[in-house]
A and B are shown apart, each in its own frame.
Chain A
Amino acid sequence: EAQVTQNPRYLITVTGKKLTVTCSQNMNHEYMSWYRQDPGLGLRQIYYSMNVEVTDKGDVPEGYKVSRKEKRNFPLILESPSPNQTSLYFCASSSAGTAFYEQYFGPGTRLTVT
């Protein structure tokens, strides 16, 4: 089954404790992206990747890191989480190395930083 998976789905952590949210897709997509969703603000892009070893900042990259060592995986790293990073996070992937085609979203990760 074609899908985008994220883990964990829910995470409660404390300020400053490093964490990683994994994202994996099995559709051989070149393009992958991370978004955060906050009430009234819609979806804001954090980072995106056009292909392996190619990543770029989105609209709200501060406090986040990503890596793309393999085509199927695109982990999101919070080195020192803060309460303002409490949010719902979505990973997405798309074919053809662009977002010009349908983006397939993962199920979301709800992160709470206390």
Chain B
Amino acid sequence: GENVEQHPSTLSVQEGDSAVIKCTYSDSASNYFPWYKQELGKRPQLIIDIRSNVGEKKDQRIAVTLNKTAKHFSLHITETQPEDSAVYFCAASRWDSNYQLIWGAGTKLIIKP
């Protein structure tokens, strides 16, 4: 079955710098890749997602890139701000698995002032 690995587990960056979180997946048939953000004590919320028919998607300061050949996808956050501090989860899914999401273990992003 699908396996999703997420790195790093903790990432500390200076405010204003960029942050990159990477996930690799094992099932080449996976075709949907969302990213969720979970602030301390809160519920996970979708921040961006990408389907396998595109290589990149942007939404203001966040972007996701997908490399289907290498089976990895990455979250890019530019001009980081204190409110970006949170745990970020990636996930992967395929249409013929009842769309079951397989989640990465999460990355704790710390923005240093």
A residues bordering B, Cβ < 8 Å? 31, 40-45, 48, 50, 56, 58-59, 90, 98-100, 102-103, 105-108
Within the assembled complex, what's the spacing in Å between the Cα atoms of A31 and B100? 11
Q: A105-B44, A107-B43 in contact; A40/B100 too (CB < 8 A)?
A: no
Query: What 7 A-B pairs are tightest by C-beta distance, nearest first?
Result: A98-B99, A105-B43, A42-B105, A99-B99, A43-B103, A102-B46, A100-B99
10 CB contacts below 8 A, A to B, read: A40-B9, A42-B6, A48-B100, A58-B100, A98-B98, A100-B95, A102-B49, A103-B46, A103-B101, A108-B43
Contact B46 A45 (CB under 8 A): no
B44 touches A48 (CB 8 A): no
- Rounded to whole Å, the gap between the CB of A32 and the closest CB of chain B is 13
Supply 13 further A-B pairs (C-beta < 8 A) apart from A100-B93, A102-B34. Answer: A41-B105, A42-B106, A43-B91, A45-B103, A48-B100, A98-B95, A98-B99, A99-B99, A100-B32, A100-B99, A103-B101, A105-B45, A108-B43
State in angstroms the CA–CA spacing of A106 and B43 once bound together.
Answer: 7
User: For chains A and B in complex, what number of residue pairs have CB atoms within 8 angstroms?
Assistant: 51
Which residues of B sit under 8 angstroms from A108, Cβ to Cβ?
Answer: 43
Count of chain B residues near A, Cβ 8 A: 22
Q: Roughly how many angstroms separate A67 CA and B100 CA in the complex, as a whole number? A: 18
The docked-state distance in angstroms from the alpha carbon of A59 to that of B91 is: 14
Given A100-B32, A100-B93, A100-B95, A42 contacting B103 (CB threshold 8 A) = yes
Is the pair A43, B89 in contact by a Cβ cutoff of 8 Å? yes
Given known pairs A100-B99, A103-B101, A106-B43, the reply for A42 and B93 (CB within 8 Å) is no
Provide the main secondary structure of the chain A interface. loop
Interface string of B47-85 (1 = CB under 8 A from A): 001000000000000000000000000000000000000
